[in-house]
Structure 1
Amino acid sequence: MKRGTKRLALPSLNTKHLFRMTDSTGILQHAKFSVPNYKEGYTTDDNARALIVALRLYEKTGDKSYLDLVYRYMAFLYNAYTEDGFFRNFMNYSRVFLDEKGTEDCFARSLIALSYVYSSEILDSSIKELAYVMLKRSLRNVLHLTYPISIAYSVIALSILHDIKEFSSEAKMYLEALSEKLLNFYHKHSDENWKWFSDKLTYANAIIPYALFRAFAVTEKEKYLKVAKEALDFLSGILFENGFLRVIGNRGWYEKGKERPYFDEQPIDACDCVIAYTEAYKITEEKEYKEKALKAFRWFLGENIHRKPLYDEKTGGCRDGIEEDGINQNQGAESTICYLLARLFIEELVKSEEKNKEVV
């Protein structure tokens, strides 16, 4: 059997560290090893991500403890919400926000979380109404976004909302406008050897082609599918070496025409690869994408340059990254949430494949 096609031994679902990192305010940003680090406070970024994971866990299991987390993280987002429809991001442990306005990424990630809440069929109408109020004010801001990754996050949120009657026309209009922006970035920066949306590969790269796959699913416009595949295939040629995933290192990122930095590798990138390749396989049914999704998930389990797992089965946390001399042993919020989200996506992929085999 070829490497990468072997059956995936999926670790049992362990959310102890998610609960350990969460207090009455929200999820803390960092940990020292597996111990929550109060000194670093909180971010809206992490609470938005955690809201998505908690909601998916509640929908999957029906466990009311996850519903409690949904309300906790939703309350954090509402506290971060500003009158002009943006979000503050950094909060210290004394519950004081340190910025007046968060980044475009923070804004767009919050939109995804709110879109999941409003589209949920299992949540009570009262929490969904709050999501509706926040979305109505925030959506108008998407047209002012300037960064490809933030635009891509917003396209994902809009793809969730487009089937909901209260948002359908607005969401589809904005989704197409933002998808066109991504295509403009692509045509401006890509050439025969560099098929990307800028002259630099940074973090969360796979989320951009993923967004265009979602745009194609909504609009059925082939131009979105074409660029999504070209960009993801270009990324694949860079990220997979010697049969395993090596995401772009954050030491200066990877600029067109320059040497690629290999360290430090971050869990957010592996997670986004799982999500992007899963979606690519779902839409195209090309088996190569399924195998890459599985390989990307195995990065967490030890199929990486150091042959060591980032996921800690005892604590339920995920270590913060791969450094040149080993694994960063801290188990922060972003890493743990990204692992859990990747696990949820890969579990759906595996179960879908097993179900299809049973039907055949």
Structure 2
Amino acid sequence: MTVRATVPAPTAGWTVPAPSFAHLARLTDDTGLFEHARHATVRREHGYCTDDVARGLVVASREPDPSAEVMRLAERYLAFLAHAQNAHGAFHNRLGFNRTWTDQPGLGDWWGRALWGLGTAAARYPVPWIRQEALLAFTRGASRRAVAPRAMAFAALGAAELLRADPGNEPAAALLADAATTIGPPDPDPRWPWPQQQLTYANAALAEAVIVAGDLLDNPPALAAGLRMLKWLLDIQTSDGHLSVLPSAGWQRDTPRLRHDQQPIEVAALADACATAATITGGQIWYAAVRQSIAWFLGDNDGGQVMWDPATGGGYDGLTPHGPNLNQGAESTLALISTLQHRATVTVFNNEGPK
């Protein structure tokens, strides 16, 4: 279902709302995080997935002063990931509402995101027992290697979190180095400076993985390569001063680019990567990009559409030619929360201004 209700684009004085965990709590039961919703109503028949639970643990662990509700969410997400992991470090991805796994453990994107969530919790979470349990599961999973660049990129983000907290963590360092190798160097062609011939989803996560590998492993060429990749992604996804992110269909090199449907996950990945680049380099272009990412959810996008529901705290599932898809599933809500968690970065940009 879609609706078209044009709103004014954010101005210089707009206020960034604090992220709300209300809808995430609505989507969560005593087992895990439900994947889909019809509007704001949970669709239990679609069950749970490790992909979303892992991202839930990421955002819960990022909260500097988590409420009791957020702490309960983190505990449930950690328990889900521990249950999903087998003795060899692989993870199941899909659990039915009947609490039965519908797949075999593997090393797909969900493995990478599980390590992202576990690494973030092990590095940041304020409760010691959660940090310890997360580190145990991360270390077991970090002994494995995926073939897919995206899976390795997501895992690298968790490894980077751990290395910032514990620079001597060898499993995390080895995983981060291998991830950068798996992603590969950008193409030397300035028209397509990307390691692959197609852009698909969460593209900025690959650039961010290369950036953090270059920074934390003292590899300046890798850092420069990752920043070049991210700058290009930002350039091709900016239109008239606002973000116009790649659609769910992606973009194959040397083919026409589509404009819809745009997914919140692309905006969240850009916000994360640009916030990381801002922290490492201090470049104002990255601060401004984080501001644009937040503004996308607030209505500064191709359709002039607000992409979340303040009444529920949920994020809309996509921007279509006819307006937002009003379903508020886990992925889009997590993307909203994740992006709004960078509001302090916007404060830096507003205080210092573009340079």
CA distance in 2 between counterparts of 1:173 and 1:40 reads 36
Percent of residue pairs identical: 28
Asked if the contact 1:48/1:77 (under 8 Å) is kept, the reply is yes
1:240 matched to which residue of 2?
238
- Structure 1 residues 320-343: Cα deviation after superposition (integer angstroms, max 9, x where no partner): 001122211100001001100111
Q: TM-score, normalised by structure 2?
A: 0.91
Structure 2's unaligned 5+ residue stretches are: 1-8
Structure 1 SS opposite 2:207: helix
Structure 2 match to 1:140: 143
More displaced stretch, 158-167 vs 275-284: 158-167
Equivalent residue for 2:133?
A: 130
| Partner SS, residue 295 of structure 1 | helix
Q: Give the partner amino acid of 1:27.
A: L
Query: How far apart in 1 are the matches of 2:165 and 2:282?
Result: 27
Q: Which residue does 2:6 correspond to in 1?
A: none
List aligned pairs for 1:239-258, cutoff 5 A: 239-251=237-249, 253-258=250-255
Which residue of structure 2 lines up, in the alignment, with residue 293 of structure 1?
290
Alignment of 1:256-335 (within 5 A): 256-335=253-332
In structure 1, how many angstroms separate the alpha carbons of the residues matched to 2:65 and 2:178? 37
The aligned amino acid for 2:210 is: L
C-alpha contact 1:8 1:294 (8 A) present in aligned 2? no
Secondary structure, counterpart of 1:140 in structure 2:
coil
Shift of the alpha carbon at 1:172? 1.8
Tell me: CA distance 1:350–1:128, structure 2 relative to 1, closer, same or farther (3 Å): same
Please, which of 72, 75, 80 is the counterpart of residue 71 of structure 1? 75
The TM-score with structure 1 as length reference comes to: 0.89
Looking at secondary structure, tell me which structure has more helix per residue.
1
| Cα pair distance change 1:7/1:288, threshold 3 Å | farther
Partners of 2:324 and 2:107 in 1: CA distance = 28
Structure 2: distance between partners of 1:264 and 1:354: 30
Please tell me whether the aligned partners of residues 309 and 315 of structure 2 are also in contact (alpha carbons under 8 angstroms): yes
Shift of 1:237: 2.1
> What per-residue deviation string (whole Å, max 9, x for no partner) do you get for residues 227-250 of structure 1?
112111211221001221111112
Q: Which letter maps to 2:34? A: L
Go from structure 1 to structure 2 and tell me whether the alpha carbon gap of 1:73 and 1:300 turns closer, same or farther (over 3 Å shift).
same
The SS at the match of 2:315 is coil
Give matches, 1:215-230, under 5 Å.
215-230=213-228
Structure 2 SS opposite 1:162 = helix
**1:180 maps to which residue?**
181
Give the corresponding residue for 1:111: 115
Question: Does residue 100 of structure 1 match 2:104?
Answer: yes
When residues 62 and 243 of structure 1 are mapped into structure 2, their CA distance, relative to the original with a 3 A threshold, is closer
Q: 1:355 to 1:257 in 2, by over 3 A?
A: closer
1:256 & 1:223 partners in 2: Cα distance?
25
Question: What is the distance in 2 between the residues matched to 1:168 and 1:355?
Answer: 36
Q: Which has the higher contact order (CA 8 A, sep 6+)?
A: 2
| Count of paired positions | 345
- 2:239 and 2:99 map into 1 onto residues whose CA distance is 44
Residue pair 1:89, 1:103 contacting (<8 A) in 2 also: no
- Which residue number in structure 1 is paired with residue 151 of structure 2? 150
TM-superposed CA distance for 1:303, in Å, is: 0.8
Q: Give me the whole-angstrom Cα distance separating, in 2, the residues matched to 1:327 and 1:300.
A: 11
- Quick one: structure 1 residues 169 and 332, their matched pair in 2 at CA, closer, same or farther if it must change by over 3 Å? same
46-55 or 157-166: bigger deviation: 157-166
**Which ranges in structure 1 are unaligned for 5 or more consecutive residues?**
none
- Please give the alpha-carbon distance, in whole angstroms, between the structure 1 residues aligned to 2:13 and 2:24: 27
CA distance in 2, matches of 1:317, 1:102: 30
- Structure 1 residues 33, 246: CA separation in 2 closer, same or farther (over 3 Å shift)? same
> How far is 1:295 from its partner?
0.8
Q: CA deviation at 1:29?
A: 0.4
